[in-house]
Amino acid sequence: MERSQPRRQVAAMKQSLFDQGLLDEQFIQLEELSDDANPNFVEEIVTLYYRDSSRLISSIEQALKERHTLDFNKLDTLMHQFKGSSSSIGAKKVKAECTLFREYCRTGNAEGCMKTFQQLKKEYASLRKKLEAYFQLARQAGPMETACRPK
Amino acid sequence: MNLSNGRGSMSTVTSGAAVKSADAVSDQFPAGLRVLVVDDDPTCLMILEKMLRTCLYEVTKCNTAEKALTLLRKNKNGFDIVISDVHMPDMDGFKLLEHIGLEMDLPVIMMSADDGKNVVMKGVTHGACDYLIKPVRIEALKNIWQHVVRKRKNEWRDTEQSGSAEEGDRQQKASDDADYSSSANESNWRNSKKRRDEEEEAEERDDTSTLKKPRVVWSVELHQQFVAAVDQLGIDKAVPKKILELMNVPGLTRENVASHLQKYRLYLRRLSGVSQHQNNMNSSFMNPQDATFGTISSINGIDLQTLAAAGQLPAQSLATLQAAGLGRSAPKGGLPMPIMDQRNLFSFENPRLRFTEGQQQQQHLSNSKPVNLLHGIPTNMEPKQLASLHQSSQPLGNMTVRVNASTQSNPLLMQMAQSQPRGHMLSENTGPHLPRLPSSLGQPSASNGTSNALMGRNGIAGSTRAPGYNPISQSSSMMNFPINQTTEMPISSFPLGSTPGISSITTKGSFQEEVTSGIKRAGGFVPNYDIFSELQKPHDWEVSNPSLTYNAASQHANPLHGNIDVSPSVLVQQSFSSNQQTGQSRDANTMIVKPIFSASESMEQGTLQNQHLNTLVTDNSIRVKTERIPDASSQTNFYPEHYGQEDLMSALLKQQEGIGPAENDFDFDGYSLDNVPV
C-alpha cells in the first residue's frame, strides 16, 4: 500500500533513534498520549521543549563564561531544570550529559563542566534535527494507529 | 434547636458545596477528579496536563506557586488534589505544600527530577501524600485518586468519631469510596454516639449529612474558628478533639482538625519557631480527647457543659456579631472586636461549633483553655486592644499575651464569649434562641472580628480564671468570663439560669436569661478564681437581684443553656462576680466591670437591668440577633455608664455597622461580647 511504506519508514527511523540511545521510554509515553484532540502531540511537546530550554541553555552558557569563578550552585540549579525538561521528552543522551555536568558541578570541576556542556549542546542540536526529520516523515505517513514500541 | 439548625444551615452552606462536588465526583470516580498542577517548566506542565486529561481528570495548570495559591483560595472547594514541583522560582514547593495543607487541607503530591533521599524525606515531613520522580509516567498519575479517597476517608472517620452521626457514614458510603468499610464507619459512629448525647448526635446527624464532604476546605473563616479554638485552649492544650468541639462545626471531623492542627503547628513553628507548637502538637495529638474530656467533665461536669454551651454561644454570637457588625457590614477595622477576634473567634467558635455536641467537649476545652486566654485580663479591655492583640499575635502563644493586654477589652469579650457559650448550654434547654446564634455565627468571616472579640472575652475569662481572677474582677466582665470558659468554672455553678439577672434577660429572649444565669454561674464556677467562688454563691447574686426577673429564674439551673441570653447573664455575672469578689454586691461590680456591673446592678434592680444587660450583650455580641439591643443606648434601660461593657460593646457594634439593633433574636448573639466573662 502506499501508506505502508512511509509508515514503515517512520517506524524504522524511530527504531534507529532508540537504538542510538537518543530516546527512551518516555518518548513512547508521549506518543501514547496522542489522540484525536492532539494528533501531533509529541511534536508539539518537542517544539515547546526546544523553545523553552533554549533560554536555559543560554543562561548556562552565560554562567559558564565566568571561566574561573564559576558559581557551581547556580549552574547546578539551572542544569537541574534542564535535566527535568529533557527527561520529560525522553531525550536520553541529553539527559545523561546533564547528569554528568551536575556531577562536575558537585565536585567543582570547572573544566569538566565546560567540556560536558559542549558535548551536551552537540547532542541537544543533533537530537533536534533528527526529531524534526522524524516528525516530518510522520506527518507525511499519516496518523499511526498506536504508538509502536521499538524492540 | 435553633442552634443546631443554625449550625446546620451554616454547615450546609459550606458542606453543601462539598457534598455536591463530592457527589459529582463519586458518580464517575475517579474520573472528574479536579487536579491542580503546579510546575514552572512549561514542557512538563503540558505533558502532565495531557496525561491527567487522559486519565479523565479535570486539570488546571499554573506555572507559579503564587498563582496556584490564589486559585486555591479563590476556589476553596474547587480542587481535589494538587500536584506540585519541588523547585520553583517564586516559592519553594514545600512551602506551597505547607500553605495548602494549612489553608485548604488538600492532598498534595510533590514531583521532582531529584530523587535524592533527602528531598523525598522532606516531602514526607512536610506532609506530602506522595512524591513522584520525573519524568512522570501516566501510570503513576492514574492512581493519584487514592490519596483523595484516603484523605476523605480519614476525615470522615474522624468526624464520625467526634460524633458525626451515621449520616456521615451514609454519605461516605454514597461517595464512591466503597472501600470505606462500612463496618468501620459504623463502629466509629457507635463510638461517637456513645460519646455524645442523643441530642448531639441528632444534631450531628443533620450536620453530617450535609457535611459529609470528603475534604474539609479550610476557609479563612473556618481557619479563624480553628485558631480561636486553639487559642482558647491554649496551644499547649489544643487537642484536636477539644478544638473540634470548640469549633463546633458540623461535619468537621477530629481528623480534619488534627491534620489541620499539625499543619498549623508547622506553620507556627516556621513563623516563630515557637515551641508551643510542639507542645501543642504533642498535647493535641496525643491527648485523647476523651480523656481530656473526662477529666474536665469531672471537674465540673455540668459546668463544662454549660460552659461549653456558653462558650459556644459566645463564639457563635461573636461570629455572628462580627459577621454582622464587623465583617460583613462594617469595616472590621473599626471594631475592636475584630481584633480580638483571633482568639475570640475561637472561643466563640467553639461554642458555636458544638453547641450541642461539643458542649461537653467544649467545656473541656474551655476549661483547659480559659486559663491561657485570660491571664490577668485587665479590666478595661478595650476591644481595640484586644483586637489588636489578637491580630498581631496570631500564633497561639500570643493568645495568652493578648489576653492579658487585651484583657481590658477582652475580659469583656471573653466574658461575653464565655457567657455565651454558657448561654448556649442553657439555651439549649431553652431552645429557641440558641439555634439562632449558630446561624448568625455562620457569618464567620465577618463575625470573626466580633466573635473574636467575644471570644477573647471568653478566653480571657477562661484563662484568667485562675490567676487573673482578681484582676478580672476588675475587668470584671472579663474575669467572670473566663470562669465560664474555663472548665474550672463549673458551668453548673454558673447558674445562668439561676441568676436572677439572667432570667430577666431571658424575658427579652430566652437567651438572655441564660446569659444571666450563666453569668452568675460563671462567678460561681470558677473554683480557681476566688471571685468565682464567691460568685458561686450566685445565690447571693441572685438573691440580691431578685428583681432580675429572670424568667430564667428557673433557669438558674441551666447555666448555659446555650442561650444567647447568656450574654446578659454574662454581664450580670460579671458584675456579680465582681461583687462577689469584693463582697459588695453591687458596688464592687460596678466598679470593675462597668458594663457588667451596671448590668448586674440593674439586674438586681429589676429586670430591666437584665434586659439591659442583654441588650448590652446582644449589642455587643452581635448585631446579630440581639433581640433587643442593638445599642446600649437604644436600650434605654441599660445603664450605659454602668455597663462598661455595654459601651464597649456598643462601640464595637456601632463600629461594625452602626450596630443596629440587635433585635435579632439570636439568642446567642446577645452574648457576644458582653457575656464574655464568667
Query: Residue B121 corresponds to which amino acid?
Result: M
Closest chain A residue to B139, measured at CA: A29
What pLDDT is recorded for position B50?
A: 93
pLDDT at A99 over 60: yes
In a shared domain, residues B38 and B152: yes
Do the bridges between strand B58-62 and strand B108-112 make them parallel or antiparallel, or are there none, so unpaired?
unpaired
CATH number, domain of A19, equals: 1.20.120.160
Average pLDDT, rounded, for chain B: 55
Residue-level pLDDT at B51: 93
Mean pLDDT of B628-639: 41
Q: Which residues of B touch A32 (CB under 8 A)?
A: 138
pLDDT tens digits for range B4-49: 444 444 444 444 444 444 444 456 778 889 999 999 999 999 999 9
ipTM above 0.95, yes or no: no
- pLDDT single digits (tens) B411-450: 444 444 344 444 344 433 443 443 343 333 334 333 343 4
Q: Is B59 helix (H, G, I), strand (E, B) or coil?
A: strand
Q: Which pLDDT band holds residue B329 (cuts at 50, 70, 90)?
A: very low
Decide if B69 is inside a domain. yes
Rounded to a whole number, what is the distance in Å from the CA of B43 to chain A's nearest CA? 6
What 8-state DSSP symbol labels residue B333? G
- Give me the CATH number covering residue B239: 1.10.10.60
Following DSSP, what letter does each residue of B541-602 receive, concatenated? HHHH-TTS--GGGGBBT-S-EE-TTHHHHHHHHHHHHHHHHHT-SSHHHHHH-HHHHHHHHH
Is residue B215 very low, low, confident or very high in pLDDT (cuts 50, 70, 90)? low
User: Rounded distance, CA B23 to CA B89, Å?
Assistant: 37
- Asked if residue A113 belongs to a domain, the reply is yes
φ/ψ of residue B124, rounded to 5: -65, -50
Q: In what order do the strands lie in the sheet with B108-112?
A: B58-62, B34-38, B81-85, B108-112, B130-133
Longest dimension (CA), chain A: 61
Q: Are residues B67 and B146 in the same domain?
A: yes
Q: Is residue A76 part of a domain?
A: yes
Does B149 share its domain with B255? no
Indicate the number of domains in chain B: 2
The tens digit of pLDDT for each residue in B563-615 reads 334 334 433 333 343 344 343 434 434 343 344 344 334 444 444 444 444 44
For chain A, the domain total comes to 1
Indicate the residue of A33, A48, A81 with minimum beta-carbon distance to B54: A33
Domain containing A119 equals 1-31+38-139
Q: Is B387 domain-assigned? A: no
Q: Is residue B165 part of a domain?
A: no
Q: Which of B392, B359, B398 is nearest to B561 (CA)?
A: B359
Q: What is the dihedral of CA B90, B91, B92, B96, to 10 degrees?
A: -140
Pairwise CB contact (< 8 Å): A81 & B46: no
Cβ-based contacts of A88 with chain B (< 8 Å): 41, 43-44, 47, 134-136
CATH number, domain with residue B60: 3.40.50.2300
Percent of chain B with pLDDT over 70: 28
- Answer whether residue B442 is part of any domain: no
| pLDDT tier at B163, thresholds 50, 70, 90 | low
A86 belongs to a structural domain: yes
Domain holding B144, by residue range, is: 34-157
Q: Does B577 touch chain A (CB under 8 A)?
A: no
Note whether residue B86 is domain-resident: yes
Q: Is residue B118 located within the same domain as residue B229?
A: no
Residue A149 lies in a domain: no
How many other CB atoms are found less than 10 A from the CB of residue A68? 5
Does residue B619 lie within any of the structural domains? Answer: no
Interface test with B, best of A81, A92, A106 (most B CBs within 10 A): A81
Using a CB-CB cut-off of 8 Å, the residues of chain B touching A35 are: 54
Give the contacts of B241 (CB within 8 A, at least 6 positions apart).
Answer: B162, B254, B257, B287, B288, B289, B290, B292, B293, B361
What one-letter code names the amino acid at A118? Q
Assigned domain for B25 exists: no
**Within 13 Å, how many C-alpha atoms sit on residue A113's CB side?**
26
pLDDT-derived band at B325, boundaries 50, 70, 90: very low
pLDDT band at A37 (very low <50, low <70, confident <90, very high): confident
Angle at B588 between CA B587 and CA B590, to 5 degrees: 65
User: Residue A95 burial (CB < 10 Å; 0-12/13-18/19+)?
Assistant: buried
Q: Is residue B411 part of a domain?
A: no
H-helix or E-strand spanning residue B483: helix B477-485
Report, as an integer, the average pLDDT of A13-19.
93
Quick check: is A146 in a domain? no
User: Of B96-100, B187-191, B349-353, which one has max mean pLDDT?
Assistant: B96-100
CA angle, B111 then B116 then B117, to 5°: 100
**Which triple of cell numbers denotes residue B551?**
424568667
Q: Is residue A150 part of a domain?
A: no
List the single residue in B87, B135, B137 with the smallest CB-CB distance to A80: B87
Is the pLDDT at B151 greater than 70? The verdict is: yes
Query: Does any CB of chain A come closer than 8 Å to the CB of residue B87?
Result: yes
DSSP letter for each residue of A47-86: HHHHHHHHHHHHHHHHHHTTTTS--HHHHHHHHHHHHHHH
B43 and A CB contact within 8 Å:
yes
